[in-house]
Amino acid sequence: MPLKPIRLMLLAGVASAAFPSASFANSTAGAGAGADADFDRDYLPREIIVTAGQLDGYRSDDGSSATKTATPLIEVPQTVTVITEDQLDDQAITQLGDALRYVPGVSLETGEGHRDEVFIRGQETTADFYLDGLRDDAQYYRSLYNVSRVEVLKGANALIFGRGGGGGVINRVSKTANPAEQFAGFDASLDTFGAFALSADVNQPLGENVAGRINATYEEFDNDRQTYDGRFIGVSPTLTFDLDPATRLTVHYTYDDDQRVTDRGVPSLNGGPLRGFDTTFFGVPGFNEASAQVHIARSRIDHDFSDSLSANASVQYANYDKVYSNVLPTGTNGTTVSLSGYRDFTQRENLIGQANLIWDVQTGPLDHTILAGLEALDQSTGNGRFGIALSQNPVALQQTLAYPTVTITGLSRERQSELSVLSGYVQDQIEIGDFIEVIAGIRWERFDLETEDLVGTNDADRVDEMWSPRFGLVLKPTGSLSFYASYSQSFLPQAGDQFLILSTGDAGFEPEKFSNYEVGAKWLVKPDLFLTAALFRLDRTNTTAPDPANTGLTVQVGESRVEGFELSLVGEVLPGWQTSFGYTYLDGEITTTSDFAAAGTRLQQLPKHQISAWNHVDVTDRFGLGFGVIHQSKQFSSFSNNVVLPSYWRADAAAFYELNDRISLQINVENLFDEDYYSSAHGDNNIQPGDPLSARFGVRVKI
């Protein structure tokens, strides 16, 4: 398919931003693309002035994803949770969803058994996922084999990340090649269900200023659920070129191939999950399958014109090919269970270009860090669905169902969408003396969506031009303590977060708006221990709703509100004791009647209390123990408020032993006390039981 004009403009615009930078390279001596840079944040500014740089352990100093400038986390006026590579390794986590269980303010949706889907501060999303600050919005499961850390930036984030992100965004930071070091690491693990994972991470200098790195993994899935299995293959090579002391070029490619059973969980009965059938598969073996092939190619060039002026430019192309089929439970009376299903396919292409200019300048007594940026996206998506017929429906409810025969019927829907987004943004971080910092900025975004209904007549298009402001005030009475207040806004056009179809009715409505108000405090208790606390309110407006005047029309008056409190403590409590602790209180409801529900309805999958804690304690120089807990209070599985997911506590444990400097052994135990719990849902009748007690045995080799 030939490139559209906007794609050519994207490439030309980013190239014009990047290549002139390289032409100045020999005449400048900027601060930084040298071998001592932090290679785990090459997509961000390379210099960050903090107490100890990017620390080993569980705490990170780096807040630059929230500002696109070199900003310590203590000076970022919003809540940011970082899961470091050390914590991921200690918990033996390989999939993004498992990592997010330990993030306060985030609860998991089942994602219909085939994709990452989360609630962040009560806002559901399948699209607010990023890779090195660039949008990665297709519906699939994301592996962490090539990731150095995971960042969850909470609240409206439109100035930095663009539309969406009402409750927050999730950014994965890639591993990159290091020209200054040669190393290799190999991991292998096996759990008591029979699932296993193999991975390799090899970095090799290829010259004085060039290095290559490759991360690869093969993983097979299994658990206690009947017929569940799957496998994942991932390969991710990357190259780093230090073109000169002021210019760095990085190139990444990722290929992910995921195949697994589509498991939609269990139905509900009498206002709660169906009990006694936690291992029963309510699908059809051989039909319930999901596959995703993902190609992501990305390059970025960074250049320092001087100590005070730098620029970067990125281009990313992504291709997603996704197919899933499922039979799913739709309800049970305790004797029989009703089923339905379909087969769905999606092909998506994304092309993203982004360029940023960062300028440190003084105006009288004020120090400014000014960010000016441009971003453009071209997205093409095709999606369709086939219906099915079942040989028997309903079927008898029993531990192993008498699976009906599935026949695929005709195409029930097919749609094509073309999305073009162009945005520009500017932000100023103003230091007023030693104790006050103001962050103010705004993003303009032009959102052009055309959708075509290929089996009906529901074609529509809409163009929106929106402004997304951000304002933050940071008070720093000491270098280790800050207080902040912030306001930010984001928007989401009326087509769902995947933009597959825009109905002719919704095409007349303005985008939904998310307004986030937050006050908080951040305290560096000591250089490697960070305490944060925040109070926040998130208002969602412009939701469609039935006309309160009973005209039979749809109007745009729906609203909801979430208010809450978050507390976290991350880092080294005592020598040899690393902790990552978080608590969140969330209270949210529909405040005016909307298409979701009537006023007064509590938001779906919004637990009032969430607690997560993970600890690693070194008992000796070579032996350590880990212990963690997760708690969620009861929550409604949907806006109906008819089905409750019970509250639960889950305890995890681990033991670590280093045989020598190169080889270490690890045991991770999940659900240590074998509690029965239900971790997530997709509506009232797709409820996912948590896994029972299991253990994973691993070995790690470093060369």
Residues 277, 69 contacting (CB under 8 angstroms) = no
pLDDT band at 4 (very low <50, low <70, confident <90, very high): low
| Residue 15 pLDDT > 90 | no
Bridge pairing between strands 687-689 and 118-120: unpaired
What average pLDDT does this structure show over 40-69? 64
Per-residue pLDDT tens digits for 287-302: 999 999 999 999 999 9
CB 452 within 8 A of CB 499: no
Q: Quick one: average pLDDT of 544-561?
A: 84
DSSP-derived 3-state class of residue 89: helix
- In the numeric block, which tokens belong to residue 107? 């609860």
Res 27 pLDDT > 90: no
Q: Would you state the pLDDT for residue 609?
A: 97
How far apart are alpha carbons 333 and 339 in whole angstroms? 12
SS3 27: helix
Q: In the chain, what percentage of residues exceed pLDDT 70?
A: 92
The pTM of this model reads 0.93
Positive or negative CA dihedral for 302, 306, 310, 311?
A: negative
Instruction: Provide the pLDDT confidence category of residue 505 given band limits of 50, 70 and 90.
Output: confident
Of 284, 290, 356, 342, the C-alpha closest to 67 is 356
Question: Does the pLDDT of residue 75 top 50, yes or no?
Answer: yes
Beta strands (DSSP E) in 87-182 are: 106-108, 118-120, 123-125, 129-131, 134-135, 147-154, 168-174
Which of 69, 52, 153 shows the shortest CA–CA distance to 571?
52
What mean pLDDT do residues 409-431 have?
97
What are 189-243's pLDDT values in tens digits?
A: 999 999 999 999 999 999 999 999 999 999 999 999 999 999 999 999 999 999 9
* pLDDT for the residue 457: 85
User: Residue 456: which pLDDT band, with cuts at 50, 70 and 90?
Assistant: confident
Count CB-CB contacts under 10 A for residue 98.
Answer: 15
Q: Which residues pair with 358 in a beta bridge?
A: 310, 371
Tell me the mean pLDDT in the region 575-580: 96
Mean pLDDT (the chain, rounded): 92
Helix and strand numbers, DSSP H then E, in the chain: 4, 37
Distance, in Å, from the CA atom of 522 to the CA atom of 570, rounded to the nearest integer, reads: 11
- The yes-or-no verdict on residue 23 having pLDDT over 70 is no
Per residue in 334-360, pLDDT (tens digit) is 999 999 999 999 999 999 999 999 999
User: How confident is the model over 529-545, as pLDDT tens digits?
Assistant: 999 999 999 999 999 88
Range(s) of the domain holding residue 366: 5-702
Q: What is the rounded CA–CA span in Å between residue 514 and residue 536?
A: 13
Decide if pLDDT at 68 tops 90: yes
Q: What is the pLDDT of residues 40-50, one digit of tens each?
A: 333 344 443 33
Confidence category of residue 21, pLDDT binned at 50, 70, 90: very low
Report in angstroms the alpha-carbon separations of 425 from 68, 170, 212, 358: 11, 20, 33, 12
Residue at 429: amino acid letter? Q
Per-residue pLDDT at 12 exceeds 70: no
481-492 vs 395-396, strand pairing mode: unpaired
Report pLDDT for 55.
54
pLDDT given at position 50: 34
pLDDT(424) > 50: yes
Q: Count how many domains the chain has.
A: 1
Confidence of residue 56 (pLDDT cuts 50, 70, 90): confident
pLDDT at 595: 86
- 639/595 Cα distance (integer angstroms): 10
Identify the band that residue 3 occupies on the pLDDT scale cut at 50, 70 and 90. Answer: very low
Whole-number pLDDT of residue 201:
98
Pick the closest to residue 263 from 681, 643, 546, 700 (CA basis): 681
**Residue 408: which CATH number?**
2.40.170.20
- For residue 486, the cross-strand partners are 472, 518
pLDDT digits (tens, 9 = 90+) for 667-690: 999 999 999 999 999 999 999 999
Cα separation, 611 vs 582, whole angstroms: 6
The pLDDT assigned to 13 comes to 52
